Structure 1
Amino acid sequence: MTPTPDYRTLLLDAWQEMRQMRLELESLTEANVPVAVIGMDCRFPGGANSPEAYWDLLQNGIDAITEVPSSRWDWTAYYDPDPDAPGRLYSRHGGFIDQVDQFDPQFFGISPREAVSLDPQQRLLLEVSYTALERAGQAIDRLRGSQTGVYVGISFADYAKLSLHSGDLSRIDAYSSLGNTHSMAVGRLAYVLGLQGPTMQLDTTCSSSLLAVHLACQSLRSGESNLALAGGINLMLSPEPTIGFCKLRALSPSGQCRTFDANADGYIRGEGCGIVVLKRLKDAITDRDPVLAVIRGSAANHDGQSNGLTAPNGQAQAAVIQQALGQAGVAAAQVQYVEAHGTGTPLGDPIEVLALGKVLAQGRSADNPLWIGSVKTNIGHLESAAGVASLIKTILALQHRQIPPHLHFQQPNPYIPWQQLAVQVPTQLTPWPSLAHQPRLAGVSSFGMSGTNVHVILEEFVEEAVDERADKQINTEAIAVVNPPPPYLFTISAKTRPALKQLAERYEVFLATQADELLPHICFTAKASTCRICSAIGKPSRSILSG
């Protein structure tokens, strides 16, 4: 006799299985939540002290590399063309930013005495993070107590030699360790702004800042953060790290970063700071934030064992790109441009291009090549800030729908099989065409000397036309014909008269480049969060360096 089925148990089992499948589906959906870049700011070589100035440098193909300025160190006292000369460096060039000794501590509630002990990397991080938030239209006072995460890449501690590592123990005071500890740099930023999300300093050398972006995206997708600051900082204040890289023979003796070129002979060190402000895309749209670009996916891995501790691993590079594509949910052929790590080393360039070709260049048509370039040819290798410099460049290229020229590419590297790969290097400003009416897509790679690799998939933001919004715009325009818009109140403030004058001058330049229809929004943002830090960047009242 056939036993009677226990329908209750069967239904319960089916319900539990459906519930588990639903949870797995929700988890998969959360992992693919797109993240919006709603603001960014930078201080890069060549006077690129804003995204606008950075784009000007990029589109005009400017090489910002110079000899080491005397304000850093006397390179003639350390120079020797022999790479084996003890205690000497053969590289006398770099990408430098101006006035790293300038800071307005009282703006951030820091006493001048404490500010002297602050690593200029901490000072610059405060300034650029503040202005990035303002560019994102965030009322900074309203962020206090919020679940805003902070993820920052920092590697070197050159400034500590003036106090902690000077050899004179009497120069160490209560502020020295706090002012030169990397974890305190991000901790101080969260403290000054009152942020209570996850806060961490990262150091995987060259991939630090792009890893910061990757982890910030994960935090947003998991709901751990609702807003995030991510980026990196790097300053060259003493010759010791450069001497070390010379002993590795990683640096170019010629003073140029010739990525992908047959004469590539190493990279040029660079410095700067870049910060992006991130939010879940759906929240950014709901909050009517400015969306500069969308991070569709990202991934990170490690080289594992390779030909050497610092040697790149092509298989690992290809794997991390494939993982990022999978998380983004896009096909390889949809990616039109990759901002390569591109250090300009004879070993690294062929390995990277072959990895790109393996994942992204297969089966491409002649009218859809994979464009590749590297900003290191413009500003040098910013090391712990290199990834975010590449990211901001790519965001700007998506916004302008143009690919900036890649410099110093005259004779293609013969170890790269160019004829077998559908890969092209732009040597002039190149229009970025759309692909079958799809949003433009780009990849950004950052591979650390430590072995940690990161790849990010970026998409241009195309706001969908909504009928209701279009009707509202038509109605608004019709009303405006009858009733012209009222005047708007534009407010600015500063703590001193000179600062107020400088701020007004900066706004004059800024407003000259903005569309008239943006004026109400600019006035609203200026009133909600007074743009004070603009007056503190570049021309403060005093110079403070210890020693």
Structure 2
Amino acid sequence: WKALEDAGYASSSLSPELRQRTGVFGGITKQGFHLYSARMQDRFPSTSFASLVNRVSYHLNLQGPSTVIDTMCSSALVAIHEACEYIRQGKGDMALAGGVNIYTHPSTYVGLSISQTIADREQCVPFGKGGNGFVPGEGVGVIVLKALDQAIKDGDGIYAVIRGSAVNHNGRTKSYTTPDPGQQAAVIRQALSQHVLDPRTISYIEAAASGSEIADAVEIVALTQVFGQRDSGQGDYKIGSVKPTIGHSEAASGIAQLSKVLLCLKHQTLVPTNAPEDFHPTTPFHEWPFQLQREVSPWKRLTIDGTEVPRRAGITSIGAGGVNAHLIVEEYIPETEHTHQSTNPTTPILFVLSAKNKERLSECAKQWLLYLQKKQNADLENIAYTLQIGREEMPCRLAIVAHDQKGLIQQLEQWMAVQESTHDCYFSERKASLDESNGQVTETSDLGELARVWVAGNAVSWSGLHQGKRRVRITGLPTYPFKRRTCWINCDQIDRTLTEIDQDKDATQTLDQVSQNKVVEFYTFMAEKSNAALVRRPVAQGAIPTVSGVPTEYLTFCPFEEKVPGFSMSQVFVHPERYPDEIRIIQAKQAEMRQVLFCREDFASVHTFLDIGCGHGTDVIQLAALYPHNRTEFKHSSTDLAERQLQRPIPSQVRPHYWHRSHLSHEQQSRVIPKHSHLT
């Protein structure tokens, strides 16, 4: 919607021919809504990749191809390439193309961690030593594509020109996800060859680099193969990456890269790639065919063989599954610079806005006030033309006849204050559907009359109003201010439903069924069934000394500096009589671990000791016996477990707390961490 509006098109006003020849191409590789279905009884939240583009075609009534692309991180750039091919081959006249990446379920981050593709820090460093993954990013972006000659003929606003695009695959490499510098170089050469472009004319590279040391180094090798031998050029050659700034948005990363390049072309400025001061590249800088852009600087045109060439950039996206994509983007230089007179136009203009209701219309007027106050010497005639032909006409309408920018600002301010019709300002808040509008009004060129009949709900032949005049669509104007809504699954209801389900289950579950939680099952089994030999520890300064008559059996694992061949902790616990040597090792390490844990504690000054997940309760009972003033508390899954294990009563100042998984909410269950001791 916003992309079409920005381009100056309203989907409802497209001709039947253009509607049938407008395609939608989108890249996506993740969603995750369906993962919430396991937590719900009567609902099944889900979507499909196809719906990403099919719903766009449906809502905008676009009847060309509606194609979804999933090539992982290169999805958006591949979607743009497919859209370009659709137009190049003459199959279509216009296309919407882009990508989206959102993380809707926590398991996405778990998966990235398990596969070790996510960074272990908050910012990725492209091309640097020690890079071990990317920082995830979310985003969505869309562009509108047309053939260049047709866009010029139609008076479209043009951000840039795609001079070449190409897609290939690595084929078989050392592993499924191993990048191939040869194929990355090949896809760049294919994009260059599409319009026989000289590699020396590419002055900037927006790299795929996302923070993986190996993958980023491979990309530099590929770029060196294509651009490393150039000569006879005058000017700077730069490289950068948007990902340290906004993260790596996977399927949407290509549209993020392209958006950055388009903005750089618009402002003729290169922006820095975030990198630390002590940045150490994997490949030495002197071997790079481009210099890392690390500051804001003008983007100057190159001079090749004595001829100045347009600013050109190459954009690379690399999918983890082996799909490489490259796009070559060039600044648009019109044959004749468009000029306008807007400070004192010879004729007034008709400025029109519409919205679903007065609230949205007020927001729209507010946006335009800010725009006009900031934009000096605005092209009012073409702005008015763009609003008339390139916006959906909605029931709540505002039309202003203005002679200059200052007068238009004053009229908008006045309407914002009173929100009613005044001189040269026409307002109507219609409730009826636009399907009830009257016939087109073409008999008058009086702007005041056109404004009056338009706000009344009538259709106007805007093209007739501008007949014989050279008009162009203006890009970058304010778009429709949709009311912000949160569209999400009611997780509170999910959690309540889950709690009710668990409570119902626990009311009928047997002890064996409770043990389906494998962590609880294992811990309970070890506490109740183990018969390992008791550990006797020597007294050391600061450590908990052994109390006469109190066994010192510890239900804990123990740290080993090195792997012990053939050692199995579970086997030792289940059959201790078979593993006397291993038990001696465990005893020594358990004692050593407690010496380290408690060596600095002065228990004489401690008044409360809390042990969560206390095992056999040995520590707390020893402390209670040694320091009667010390109140000792422990949490356990069985109130009499420690008493049964130690075969002695629990001292009076020791307070056991019984907890069971049925007493915890789902969120609490997932956050219980056993064996944490706190001293106060």
Normalising by the residue count of structure 2, what TM-score does the alignment of the two structures yield? 0.56
Contact 2:207 2:317 in 1 (8 A): yes
Residue 422 of structure 1: how far off its partner (Å): 3.4
Task: Among all aligned residue pairs of Structure 1 and Structure 2, give the percentage whose two residues are the same amino acid.
Answer: 36
Give SS of 2:300's match.
Answer: coil
Give SS of 1:406's match.
Answer: coil
Q: Write the distance in 2 (CA, Å) between the matches of 1:432 and 1:409.
A: 23
- Shift of the 240–541 alpha-carbon distance from structure 1 to 2, 3 Å rule, reads closer
Q: Write the distance in 2 (CA, Å) between the matches of 1:522 and 1:512.
A: 15
Q: Which AA in structure 1 matches 2:34?
A: A
Contact 1:143 1:194 in 2 (8 A): no
- Shift of the 544–523 alpha-carbon distance from structure 1 to 2, 3 Å rule, reads farther
- Name 2:351's counterpart in structure 1: 490
Post-superposition CA distance 1:217-267 (Å, at most 9, x none): 000011111000000011112111211111121111111011122342321
1:29-428 correspondence to structure 2 within 5 Å: 130-143=1-14, 145=16, 146=19, 147-163=21-37, 166=38, 168=40, 170-172=42-44, 176=45, 180-364=47-231, 367-428=234-295
User: Are 2:332 and 1:465 aligned?
Assistant: no
Contact 1:197 1:224 in 2 (8 A): no
Contact 1:143 1:195 in 2 (8 A): no
Residue 484 of structure 1: how far off its partner (Å): 4.5
Residue 399 of structure 1: how far off its partner (Å): 1.5
Residue 275 of structure 1: how far off its partner (Å): 0.3
Give SS of 2:352's match.
Answer: coil
Q: Write the distance in 2 (CA, Å) between the matches of 1:148 and 1:513.
A: 35
Contact 1:144 1:195 in 2 (8 A): no
Q: Which AA in structure 2 matches 1:286?
A: K
Q: Which AA in structure 1 matches 2:299?
A: W
Q: Which AA in structure 2 matches 1:358?
A: Q
Give SS of 2:23's match.
Answer: strand
- Name 1:67's counterpart in structure 2: none
Contact 1:298 1:324 in 2 (8 A): yes
Gaps of 5+ in 1: 1-129
Further displaced range: 209-218 or 424-433? 424-433
Q: Write the distance in 2 (CA, Å) between the matches of 1:535 and 1:136.
A: 13
Give SS of 1:445's match.
Answer: strand
Residue 540 of structure 1: how far off its partner (Å): 2.9
Residue 387 of structure 1: how far off its partner (Å): 0.3
- Name 2:316's counterpart in structure 1: 445
Residue 196 of structure 1: how far off its partner (Å): 1.1
Further displaced range: 514-523 or 227-236? 514-523
- Name 1:502's counterpart in structure 2: 363
Q: Write the distance in 2 (CA, Å) between the matches of 1:495 and 1:400.
A: 35
- Shift of the 516–414 alpha-carbon distance from structure 1 to 2, 3 Å rule, reads closer
Further displaced range: 444-453 or 492-501? 492-501
Q: Write the distance in 1 (CA, Å) between the matches of 2:205 and 2:259.
A: 13
Give SS of 2:29's match.
Answer: coil
Residue 488 of structure 1: how far off its partner (Å): 1.3
- Name 1:518's counterpart in structure 2: 379
- Shift of the 347–367 alpha-carbon distance from structure 1 to 2, 3 Å rule, reads same
Q: Write the distance in 2 (CA, Å) between the matches of 1:217 and 1:294.
A: 11
Contact 2:227 2:289 in 1 (8 A): no
Q: Which AA in structure 1 matches 2:198?
A: A
Q: Which AA in structure 2 matches 1:400?
A: H
- Shift of the 319–249 alpha-carbon distance from structure 1 to 2, 3 Å rule, reads same
Contact 1:409 1:427 in 2 (8 A): no
- Shift of the 347–498 alpha-carbon distance from structure 1 to 2, 3 Å rule, reads same
Contact 1:143 1:193 in 2 (8 A): no
- Shift of the 501–430 alpha-carbon distance from structure 1 to 2, 3 Å rule, reads same
- Name 1:77's counterpart in structure 2: none
Contact 1:336 1:442 in 2 (8 A): yes
- Shift of the 545–364 alpha-carbon distance from structure 1 to 2, 3 Å rule, reads farther
Give SS of 1:211's match.
Answer: helix
1:13-28 correspondence to structure 2 within 5 Å: none
Post-superposition CA distance 1:338-380 (Å, at most 9, x none): 1000111111111101111110232346853431111001100
Q: Which AA in structure 1 matches 2:346?
A: P
Post-superposition CA distance 1:405-439 (Å, at most 9, x none): 10025345443132133320111112111112211
User: Are 2:419 and 1:545 aligned?
Assistant: no
Q: Write the distance in 2 (CA, Å) between the matches of 1:327 and 1:303.
A: 20
Give SS of 2:360's match.
Answer: helix
Q: Which AA in structure 1 matches 2:245?
A: N
How much is the aligned-residue C-alpha RMSD, in angstroms?
2.3
Q: Write the distance in 2 (CA, Å) between the matches of 1:192 and 1:329.
A: 39
Post-superposition CA distance 1:432-471 (Å, at most 9, x none): 11112211111000001111000001100001138xx8xx
Q: Write the distance in 1 (CA, Å) between the matches of 2:93 and 2:57.
A: 15
Q: Write the distance in 1 (CA, Å) between the matches of 2:333 and 2:487.
A: 44
Q: Write the distance in 1 (CA, Å) between the matches of 2:372 and 2:203.
A: 33
- Shift of the 237–284 alpha-carbon distance from structure 1 to 2, 3 Å rule, reads same
Give SS of 1:444's match.
Answer: strand
- Shift of the 525–535 alpha-carbon distance from structure 1 to 2, 3 Å rule, reads closer
Aligned residues: 400
Contact 2:131 2:211 in 1 (8 A): yes
Q: Which AA in structure 2 matches 1:153?
A: G
Gaps of 5+ in 2: 395-477, 492-680
Give SS of 2:118's match.
Answer: coil
Contact 2:9 2:391 in 1 (8 A): no
- Shift of the 515–135 alpha-carbon distance from structure 1 to 2, 3 Å rule, reads farther
Contact 1:342 1:374 in 2 (8 A): yes
Contact 1:328 1:457 in 2 (8 A): no
Q: Write the distance in 1 (CA, Å) between the matches of 2:48 and 2:124.
A: 31
Further displaced range: 267-276 or 426-435? 426-435
- Name 2:388's counterpart in structure 1: 527
Give SS of 2:87's match.
Answer: helix
Q: Write the distance in 2 (CA, Å) between the matches of 1:241 and 1:541.
A: 24
Q: Write the distance in 2 (CA, Å) between the matches of 1:413 and 1:360.
A: 22
Q: Write the distance in 1 (CA, Å) between the matches of 2:134 and 2:487.
A: 31
- Shift of the 402–541 alpha-carbon distance from structure 1 to 2, 3 Å rule, reads closer
Q: Write the distance in 2 (CA, Å) between the matches of 1:274 and 1:206.
A: 14
